[in-house]
Amino acid sequence: MSMEILLGDEAVGLGAVHAGLSGAYSYPGTPASEIMEYLIRIGRGASFKAAWSVNEKTAFEEALGCSYAGKRAFVSFKHVGLNVAADPFMSAALTGANGGFIVCSGDDPSMHSSQNEQDSRFYAQFALIPCFEPADHQEAYDMAREAFELSERVKLPVMIRLTTRLAHSRAGVETRPPRPENEIRTGARQCWTLLPGNARVQFKRVLDLQPELVRYASESPFTRLELQPDDRRLGIIASGLGYNYVRENLEGSGLRPSILKISVYPIPEDLVRRLVEHCDTILVAEEGYPLIERQIRGLFGIPGKILIGKMSGHLPLQGELTPETVRAALGLAPLARRTAGDLPLANRPPQLCVGCPHADTFKALKKALEGQPGATIFSDIGCYTLGYFPPHNAVDSCVCMGASVGMAHGASRAGVHPAVGVIGDSTFGHSGITALLSAATADANMVLVILDNCTVAMTGTQPSFSTGRRLLEIVRGVGVPAERLRVITPLPKFHEENVRVLREEIAHPGLSVVVAVRECLEEAKKKNKLGGAQ
């Protein structure tokens, strides 16, 4: 064994490598980006393949193909990325895995860098596949190894669910010797072909596996039940980081509750039943939605027992769990803390970087739209979403990756004019292309502004699949006429020219695409340091 200091993300990645990983795929998104960055870094010269994909669905499918070949495969993304990959994800539960297959989802409670707080455990429950939820960095490493073993044993994809606080903190991890990669081996093609006759058979197989999966969760070394025979007042069911917060608060408190630690799903029903039967009051401490609490509570609760947690209001339904909120739920007095007194804290909303090319594009776009009160700018997700804030005030909506193009198209059909979509080069490749194909076919009366800064800037300047000449060729390829495809350079010295181009395309009664090309300033700085500035 050896000890390494790792991010939670890195612990999962290294556990996968030491489990005999052959292929890893991902699309960047906080808090999961560091998994792939780490795998790419340590994978140089190694036998396994680690690569970014154009979006989460593609990443999932690339990993699934690797698994079908009998190799161990890994796919990672943030929680909303799982929505993008939901189509193959749900069906992969039926086709099953050949080589071990891990799906790692990074959830973001408190929405530090996300548009919602959805809980990926529900996806695992929905697909009827096992899910691991590490409580610390050591478990993140160990579970990655164990998840591959379980996946190959039951021939199902297995999920690992991380949350931001664990993904982005560092701790010591004891590692073990690596296992060799699998040889290529073929599988049963009828399992992978979800024609109705095959799919029905495969779905029954997944249903039949459920009792075995529940049994596995109960017997897993990651699950622990500690009953206090002489104290039946309080029982705690805790999962993920909630378990650590419970332990932290119990130290020196005088409380001696019974505790069930759940780290593997489906929920270990027999252990839950034993705890509930043993205790008068049960506290459920879980990060995210009240998945465990809902299953225990049912519609009407448990007769004769008091069940507290998120649904009772003892823990907040919104945001991250914290040691303080768990302490309050345990009925303990708050710890003394140092405060800033009456000093007001500065409000510091996120802003575009100084010198960001998007600022110059927004400035030109707002100028071009002056005098048109019906103008609506539908934004996508990326750095440019920060154009919502002053002084730009340039964004009227932001829903999900790739949505800006379809929303502008739909609004134009409803009579909005001018209808403008704003999307980045990477997000356009992620899921904007198909919406533009639709808009081009309809010759929608809208303008799409593609902000090509040559990288995936917001998540750490990962490579973009649709930038530069390739981006222009894609736009032309989906049916946008050459005369309606304009390129501008978002620099102050070209402001008046850019305003003129945008006004001309806004006045055109049909689809136009304006591509604003200027490299991300932060990416340029990195290249300058490396001596490769462009």
- Total Cβ atoms within 10 A of residue 15: 29
> What pLDDT, on the 0 to 100 scale, is given for residue 532?
53
Q: For residue 52, which of 81, 91, 18, 80 has the smallest C-alpha distance?
A: 81
User: Whose structure tokens read 């009456």?
Assistant: 342
Query: DSSP character for 429?
Result: I
User: Whose structure tokens read 């500690």?
Assistant: 226
- Total Cβ atoms within 10 A of residue 343: 7
**How many residues can be counted in the chain?**
534
Q: How many helices (H) and strands (E) does the chain have?
A: 21, 20
- Total Cβ atoms within 10 A of residue 23: 23
Residues of 67-80 as b/e, b for ≥16 C-beta within 10 angstroms?
Answer: bbbbbbbbbbbbbb
Tokens encoding 418: 């001018």
Beta bridge partners of 73: 23, 101
Residues of 353-371 as b/e, b for ≥16 C-beta within 10 angstroms?
Answer: eeebbbbbbbbbbbebbee
What's the CA gap between 526 and 533, in Å, rounded? 8
- Who's near 446: CB < 8 A, 6+ residues apart? 408, 409, 411, 412, 418, 419, 420, 421, 439, 511, 512
Q: For residue 447, which of 517, 362, 504 has the smallest C-alpha distance?
A: 504
CB 263 within 8 A of CB 220: yes
Which residues in the chain land under pLDDT 70? 532-534
User: Whose structure tokens read 């609506």?
Assistant: 376
What's the CA gap between 520 and 456, in Å, rounded? 9
Look at residue 56 and give its three-state secondary structure: helix
What's the CA gap between 159 and 30, in Å, rounded? 17
Checking DSSP bridges between strand 2-7 and strand 170-175, what pairing results, if any?
antiparallel
Burial class (CB in 10 A: 0-12, 13-18, 19+), 509: exposed
Query: DSSP character for 69?
Result: T
CB 68 within 8 A of CB 192: yes
Instruction: Measure Cα distances from 219 to 71, 110, 208, 214 in Å.
Output: 27, 32, 19, 9
Each residue's pLDDT tens digit, 284-294 = 999 999 999 99
Q: Is the pTM of this model over 0.85?
A: yes
User: Whose structure tokens read 């809980």?
Assistant: 119
> What pLDDT, on the 0 to 100 scale, is given for residue 424?
97
What's the CA gap between 324 and 70, in Å, rounded? 46
Alpha-helical segments (H) within 269-351: 269-278, 291-297, 323-329
Tokens encoding 247: 């332990």
> What pLDDT, on the 0 to 100 scale, is given for residue 347?
77
Each residue's pLDDT tens digit, 39-63 = 999 999 999 999 999 999 999 999 9
Alpha-helical segments (H) within 291-380: 291-297, 323-329, 357-368
- Who's near 249: CB < 8 A, 6+ residues apart? 323, 326, 327, 330, 332
> What pLDDT, on the 0 to 100 scale, is given for residue 534?
42
CB 359 within 8 A of CB 325: no
Q: For residue 257, which of 285, 219, 290 has the smallest C-alpha distance?
A: 285
CA-based radius of gyration for the chain: 26
Look at residue 346 and give its three-state secondary structure: coil
What's the CA gap between 375 and 56, in Å, rounded? 32
